[in-house]
Structure 1
């Protein structure tokens, strides 16, 4: 069964989604590259360009881990929490953010091993009629993947291409996952960007025998202005597609976050109780 706090968060999900309508007509994250990247005749070459761009982004994101955790609305780490908000960035405009925090009864290396195993398994098997994995490459501390998404458009199915890059950073007191994605639609000139931080760290205070580890995550979703648009305006069909992806990706991320929290709590709470009874 889901933790009560997580149930409440899921219940609020549908209400929160109603507040996302106004994002459709706003400017999002700015890019130095054409939004048709990945979606023209030179797909392989453009995918390489996207990976290079994401590698630069990941390096910068790794330097921002402390800042992200400090500014999190659920940063205290003393209770289970998950929140989704529409925020404003001074340069990038409006974006969606999902944050979570989960105190765990294990050391952070144990939690990391479970998270990495689940990550590998999920990305080896996830293929549906709406999602197709084209390439997925793992190392001991990273992965890259390219994939195809299908969304329903006004005139029929719309194909989008995505690339995701993840790096794992290990430090004496924590293990952090930093990942970023780029998703493009050639037909509608749309580009979406995702950023994510997942951190398992030593608890900053409290009873470390009960909750020695804090599991925190932060996900951000941005939308570039459509290619050729002025002032963020675009046609109604593009509006609908943009809204559809913003809703589906943010909903998926919050659902995945809640499931990860519940799995971690179930696994490590049960582990500690069984050990105490031995």
Structure 2
């Protein structure tokens, strides 16, 4: 299922980056420097629609944005604390507070590299600089993993981590904006990176059609696709199709979680719209 429009200028900062950054900041995640004025405009403009959507049992993005973020944080924390991961490479990080929070929490015990398109990376770098977050173990790099030599650039960034240790690659809030071919290309590139390390972990999120079937969901997907300007893609109908696709790419083991499975561990995992998204945790062994 696909709701599509032409792509915007590659270096433009997407409305969702502003919106999600504001959602995280207003819920106490990260610092206020990661919330933009435009994000506040978008949030307030969408609030009447969100009230109606909740009233009619439709999706409320704030719910699943917070739920997926919290579950990914939980899974990453568990991997770090277990000694499996000491490097994190986050793709298309936008205004996410994760890098700031994990760098503050773990200090020199981890290396955290955030990436995004040049305009977004520059804005994020400025915000983190104001927070005093950047340093030898936390930085932001410009990267377009889906264009040109993105695969080579991704491998070059990965080479800067210690290959004998474990690496986690994160792509939050990205996959449903990609056509299926680009999604599979991204997964293959991520796998190639992770297989260079002693332990590899891929964390992401994905909306599947089965969880978003109602008429209000369809309308919301159409409107969100127009809001973003890239379209929304529901590549898979059921979770098992996602699992098979990741396994056929070479990931093992592969787990798909509903946020509500972490309701006792993650603050926002039981919000009403939380289970409209799945969280992916996929392993990769060194070859």
Superposition TM-score, scaled by structure 1 size = 0.28
With normalisation by structure 2, the TM-score equals 0.27
Structure whose alpha-carbon radius of gyration is higher: 1
